[in-house]
Chain A
């Protein structure tokens, strides 16, 4: 158990809908990362937040957005869902801060999203 929690574990929805995935980082970790894993695209970085602020953006669609709240939990919002959005969505956290020389990320169990 990495200490990172994600809810829900499974989500089944229809095309055109909107869903919210939730992530709670490990205690003390300030950074949260979101990843999408699908068979055809592999593991893709979406977005990173550090202490409430967006820090890096990867291959995140405009239909997707995220935020990190003052208590450091994060939510990933996926809207106008398409069949191709079906994937495993992982959240990871790390302690990265001033003086940190490396960035070991700890992954949550993931949310499996199925769009029908």
Chain B
């Protein structure tokens, strides 16, 4: 069974700082997705990464994918309070079938 691990599980950081969330998965896949979830809310799609070396950026968030290392990173630059949320990565190994979600990283940005 595919396993998707994120670390850290909890992250508290000060505004203006940089940090990286890691997502490791246990089997070959070249499709990785990042989602954001605010407390009590739904999941919002952030990034879709479809090949080795893919990099996507939106505002203060940048996601990358290394399929050989089975690793994706979500880098946060100069964090602001509005980025406080839980971030999930997800992997699918057969297009059209189920996602395997990571455990989630709960990010709190302290003013």
| Residues on A facing B (Cβ under 8 Å) | 2, 31, 33, 42-43, 45, 48, 50, 55-56, 58, 90, 92, 94, 96-97, 100-110
- Other A-B pairs, 15, CB within 8 Å; known A43-B101, A104-B45, A107-B35: A42-B104, A43-B104, A45-B99, A45-B100, A45-B101, A48-B97, A90-B42, A92-B43, A97-B96, A100-B95, A101-B95, A103-B99, A104-B33, A107-B42, A110-B42
Asked whether A55 and B96 contact (CB < 8 A) given A102-B48, A104-B33, the answer is yes
Asked whether A102 and B31 contact (CB < 8 A) given A90-B43, A107-B42, the answer is yes
A104 touches B48 (CB 8 A): yes
Number of chain B residues whose Cβ lies closer than 8 Å to a Cβ of chain A: 21
- Majority SS of interface residues in chain B? loop
B50 touches A101 (CB 8 A): yes
| Residues on B facing A (Cβ under 8 Å) | 31, 33, 35, 41-45, 48, 50, 88, 92, 95-101, 103-104
